[in-house]
Amino acid sequence: MVAPVIHESSASWTEMGGQKMHLECAGSGPPLLMLHGLLGGSFCWRFNVPVLATRRSIYAPDLPGMGLSPASRSTDCSMRAQAIRLKHFIEARNLDEIDIVASSWGGGLALLLASGNKRVRSLALVAPVNPWSEFGWNRVRFCASRLGSLMVHAGLPLSRRIHGIGIKRMYGDPLRIAAGTLEGYSARLKRHGLASNLINTLRSWQADMTALREAIPRVQAPTLLVWGSQDGAVDPRSADSLMMALKNCRAKTLSGVGHLPFEEAPEVFNRLVLDFIDQPG
């Protein structure tokens, strides 16, 4: 079991595309943007920021409508809208030669952001959502329906026990869940308005997958794909299709690990990322 890591960083509030956004910054050096998954936030990188910040300037946002960043019910939380906001964020801060580490839904977002974008230097993607993985599509369709959305509104703020079951399913070995993990995620899952923001995102799923299919062939940045062999959220077999569509791509599978290798095997993950971003080509 990995002990929680305490690291020096600064958390602040900024604006991205007219939306209030919680942003964690740490380290110094070339820029590294870290993008969380659908129900995550900068919290999910707590075992990675301390190590990666020794070589990079870290920007780890809670995207609008996710994590700690609030958004109205009508805010467009689709992958496409978030990619536009991030593009403006990068340009406003004049970040060039930027590396991106991203997980799951954030990985799909990173691919959209990198498509035709010369500012993006490299991509290290953990089980990125993609058009070739059908894992969970039925759940997405149901949760986006009228009945499903009512159940999401009722169930998302529920007890830590329910949250704990969901987290365990994300791990290859639940014994690797570190102290404080459940409390950290549970606090964020109870944020007022999160259910509406999540449903907004899920209702854009099909259009986002269509946009991704068109965008991926235009990604020029060298890409590392990292998958856990026990991932039940995004099909590890879809890595083969992604590698065929991307021009410069390599893949690494971590045996016995689930959907969150950056949490479940952080030492291995951090080493993979640092080795890759040092020599991405």
| pLDDT in the model for residue 159 | 62
Q: Which of 115, 143, 141, 147 is nearest to 128 (CA)?
A: 115
Measured CA to CA, the distance from residue 197 to residue 191 in angstroms comes to 11
Chain mean pLDDT for the chain: 91
pLDDT reported for residue 8 = 47
Radius of gyration of the chain, Cα coordinates, nearest whole angstrom: 17
Structurally, at CATH architecture level, domain 10-278 sits in 3-Layer(aba) Sandwich (3.40)
Kindly indicate the confidence band of residue 2, based on its pLDDT and cuts at 50, 70 and 90.
very low
Q: What is the pLDDT of residue 140?
A: 79
Q: Sorting pLDDT into bands at 50, 70 and 90, what band is 12?
A: confident
**Does the CA dihedral 189-190-191-197 come out positive or negative?**
positive
Residue 125, pLDDT above cutoff 90: yes
Chain center to CA of 94: 22
Give how far Cα 43 sits from Cα of 21, 62, 141, 182, 262, Å.
14, 9, 27, 11, 12
Which comes out higher in pLDDT, residue 15 or 59?
A: 59
Cα–Cα distance between 87 and 79 in angstroms, integer? 12
Quickly tell me which residue has 């040092």 as its tokens.
278
Q: pLDDT at position 102, please?
A: 98
pLDDT of residue 162: 77
* pLDDT tens digits, 169-224: 999 999 999 999 999 998 888 888 888 999 999 999 999 999 999 999 999 999 99
Per-residue pLDDT tens over the stretch 239-255: 999 999 998 999 999 99
Give the Cα separation of 224 and 157 in Å (integer): 35
Nearest to 82 by CA among 142, 118, 37: 37
Residue 5 confidence (pLDDT) above 60: no
Contacts of 175 (CB under 8 A, 6+ apart): 1
DSSP E strand boundaries for the chain: 10-16, 19-26, 31-35, 57-62, 98-103, 120-126, 223-228, 249-254
The residue among 256, 215, 239, 34 whose CA lies nearest residue 112 is 215
For 86-112, what is the mean pLDDT?
96
| Per-domain boundaries in the chain | 10-278
Question: Residue 6: its pLDDT value, please?
Answer: 34
